[in-house]
Structure 1
């Protein structure tokens, strides 16, 4: 068993995340520890920067429900 995650492993992780699978379930499927999966996701994930034309980008994760304006 390889120490590193392959491209196929990363594709499986992406697919299972879209299916809302837990890190533990993904880890069992790949034969890896759940912390390995969590670290991989944390290391390589990012927020997509998007916004409306004419408005500045607001990176706040809670911007839809924020009461402080």
Structure 2
């Protein structure tokens, strides 16, 4: 088994996140630990900055 995640693994992670699966469930499907999945998501995810015309983007995560 490879130490690194493949492109197909990353597609499976994206699919699992889209289906609202937990990191543990995604990890079991891939045969990886849940912390590996969590670190991968944290490392390569980003917030989508969106706003409406006339209203600036508000980066506050508590709203």
Q: Do Structure 1 and Structure 2 share a fold, with TM-score over 0.5?
A: yes
Which protein, 1 or 2, shows the higher relative CO under an 8 Å CA cutoff with sep ≥ 6?
2
Give the total of aligned pairs.
63
Tell me the TM-score normalised to structure 2 length.
0.94
List gaps (5 residues or longer) in structure 1.
Answer: 64-69
Tell me the TM-score normalised to structure 1 length.
0.86
List gaps (5 residues or longer) in structure 2.
Answer: none
State the Cα RMSD in Å. Answer: 0.8
| Displaced runs of 4 or more, over 6 A | none
| Aligned counterpart, 1:4 | 4
Q: Counting helix residues as a fraction of each chain, which structure ranks higher?
A: 2
